[in-house]
Chain A
Amino acid sequence: MTFVLVALGAGVAVAVELVEALAIVLAVAVSRRWSDALIGATGAVIACAVLAVVLGPVLLESVPLDTLRVVIGFLLLLFGLEWLRKGTLRLAGRRARSSSVAEFAETQEELEDVPLPPPGQADWPGRIVAFKGVLLEGVEVVIIVAALASRPSGPAPALLGAGLACVAVVGAGAWVRKPLARVPETELKWGVGVLLSSFGVFFLAEGLHVEWPGSDAAVLYIVAALAAVSQLQIHRLARA
């Protein structure tokens, strides 16, 4: 059960972050040049890979198990509640819905006034915008996946979910070559917020020597509790 939930949490988190990064890369590619957009994006992917190679082993090898659980729980709760807070406010109509299409338009606007260098010369503004966009989304992906992968039961579900999400999003991007407008980003991000926050509470408590009634199945009632509290708040805010 936990295997599926961890894979799902990592997969959806990675997918929504990649959709945002994809929107930025596609905006640079469409309004500037594909080669420069890909060079910028590749540079950021390499930087994220280096971070992942450093962060994973450090978390796994140099921190005692209980401390590791508390650190992982804290990080997941921090990221998860931020996603859940935004999702709650968005679904209540208190802030704009999440949209990679808007990100696409903003990136195009950002580069509109910068002249494109002649063919054969590097387009550094385009490369930098693509690099920055992929790096910022990528760092978040690395932290979430590293935290979920550092669980004592092993990295397999987190890496499986993240891998499937990468294949799905990159494949979809290569196929449609435009932002994935039909993806319900706000609802997905709300769901990821609930899952990450739930794992955060679960690991944090285990790190503090709690034995959850129902063992691993406790994640299910933690998910239900956080989802219910958020939905109640959404209805309260929407009515106010």
Chain B
Amino acid sequence: MKTLRKLILGETWILPLGITAVVLVTALVVKPLMGDAWEQAGGFVLLAGACAVLLLSTR
């Protein structure tokens, strides 16, 4: 079970929690706030979030 958890979630909880937080905040908060600009710029918000999670997990 421990091996399976490690396989799916990895070695640290920062990644699954961080990615989930980025997706939820982006989809539920940032997207409605950005309005029409979302279509063109929303991807860069997600990219910035992924970079932030990477930096946080490698401190």
Contact = CB atoms under 8 A, between A and B. Distances in A.
Contacts of B26: 208
A39 interface: no
Contacts of A216: none
Contacts, number: 85
Nearest to B26: A208
Interface size class of B (residues with CB under 8 A): 20 to 34
A225 B23 CA distance: 19
A233 B19 contact: no
Given A197-B50, A212-B43, A225-B51, A88 B7 contact: no
Interface of A: 70, 74, 77-78, 81-82, 84-86, 88-89, 92, 94, 136, 139-140, 197, 200-202, 204-205, 208-213, 218, 222, 225-226, 229-230, 233, 237
B54 interface: yes
Interface of B: 3, 7, 9-12, 15-16, 19, 23, 26-27, 31, 38-40, 42-43, 46-47, 50-51, 53-55, 57-58
A229 B38 CA distance: 23
Which DSSP category, helix, strand, loop or mixed, fits chain B's interface? helix
Contact of A226 (B9, B27, B42, B54): B54
28 contacts: A74-B23, A78-B10, A78-B15, A81-B15, A81-B53, A84-B54, A85-B54, A89-B58, A139-B7, A140-B7, A201-B47, A202-B43, A205-B43, A208-B26, A209-B39, A209-B42, A210-B43, A211-B40, A212-B43, A218-B43, A222-B43, A225-B47, A225-B51, A226-B51, A226-B54, A229-B51, A233-B55, A237-B58
Contact of A81 (B7, B42, B50): B50
Contacts of A92: 58
A58 to B, nearest CB: 17
B54 A204 contact: no
B54 A88 contact: yes
A85 B12 contact: yes
